[in-house]
Structure 1
Amino acid sequence: MSEVRLSPDELARACAEAMWREDDASKGLGMKILEVSAGQATLSMTVGPHMVNGQRIAHGGFIFTLADSAFAFACNTYNERVVAAQGSITFIRPASLGDFLVARAREVSRNGRSGIYDVRVTAGEVVIAEFRGHSRSISGTWLPEA
């Protein structure tokens, strides 16, 4: 019997599906996976009433969480379990109640057990925030190894 090989993008999507099944935090905030490919992921989230702060704008923690989730899905696309080692965000413009936010994560570098990923969070054409995450692979895989 011949072994079935997945393309890098098929592998990325299969890893995302496995990870999504266990990701109660992202699902609980109403996030959706829009796209996943090798080293990249795009997630969305609508700013709900429970996400606005006393200024009546989206609390930065929720924007960070969206960016962090996109980062996580991007760096877990190679069937290695990967966690965040560090993450930072710069808020550029506020997001408001009802805004549909999109976080696009892309791999900047990946070497050994470490990676760097950039995530841009937008509301339409408006850039809301820029996030940079540093990843570290740990033991284990998302899919059984053949």
Structure 2
Amino acid sequence: MHSNPQQLAELAGKTMYERDPASQALGMKLDEIRPGYARMSMRVRADMLNGHQTCHGGYIFMLADSAFAFACNSHNFNTVGAGCTIDYLAPGREGDLLVAEALEQALLSKTGVYDITVKNEEGRTIALFRGKSHRVSGMVADVAAAAA
């Protein structure tokens, strides 16, 4: 049933989201997942603002990092972040819907490189994130159990 890469990505995404209280607590939604791709969104709440009354960079980082995690686990192999960088380009404001789009740039053996763009509702780029992933042992979702 789940030999289809798209079905596998959806199963891995659903399984990961159910086990991800951090992303859930921030109100993140997994809007779309495909092999090597994920799009997540998060509304900037008042309790996410810093002393400048803009979205704290840590929350923007977490959104980008979550999209990165879903994209690099979309092949259903347990994969973790090995390193990343972020560039903040514009502030997020209270009420903004931030959307992080993660795209696989390379996947060779156990190492992947992903670019994540965070934008607001107007399409303004808020941040650019690049993550390097490392595949570890195991699978995200139990395909046999899901097929049963």
TM-score band, normalised by the shorter chain? over 0.9
Q: 1:115 aligns with which of 92, 112, 116?
A: 112
Instruction: State the secondary structure of the residue aligned to 1:140.
Output: strand
TM-score (norm 1): 0.95
Q: 2:15 maps to what in 1?
A: 18
- Of residues 52, 57, 61, the one that matches 2:54 is 57
The alignment partner of 1:119 has SS state of strand
Provide, for residues 28-61 of structure 1, a one-character-per-residue CA deviation record: whole Å limited to 9, x for no partner: 0000010000000000000001100000000000
Aligned to 2:82: 85
SS of structure 2 residue aligned to 1:94: coil
1:142 aligned residue (135, 140, 143): 140
Structure 2 partner of 1:105: 102
**How far is 1:143 from its partner?**
2.3
Structure 1 runs (4+) greater than 6 angstroms displaced: none
Number of aligned residues: 143
In the TM superposition, residue 109 of structure 1 has moved relative to its aligned partner by 0.2
Aligned ranges 1:122-137 → 2 under 5 Å: 122-124=119-121, 125-137=123-135
Q: Which runs of 5+ in 2 are unaligned?
A: none
In the TM superposition, residue 145 of structure 1 has moved relative to its aligned partner by 5.2
Distance in structure 2 (CA, Å) of the matches to 1:91 and 1:5: 38
Contact 2:2-2:143 within 8 A present in 1 as well: no
TM-score normalized by the length of structure 2: 0.94
Compute the displacement of 1:5 (Å).
4.2
RMSD of aligned Cα (Å)? 1.0
Q: Which runs of 5+ in 1 are unaligned?
A: none
The separation in 2 between residues aligned to 1:113 and 1:72, in whole angstroms, is 14
Note the C-alpha offset of 1:132.
0.2
- Percent identity of paired positions between Structure 1 and Structure 2: 43
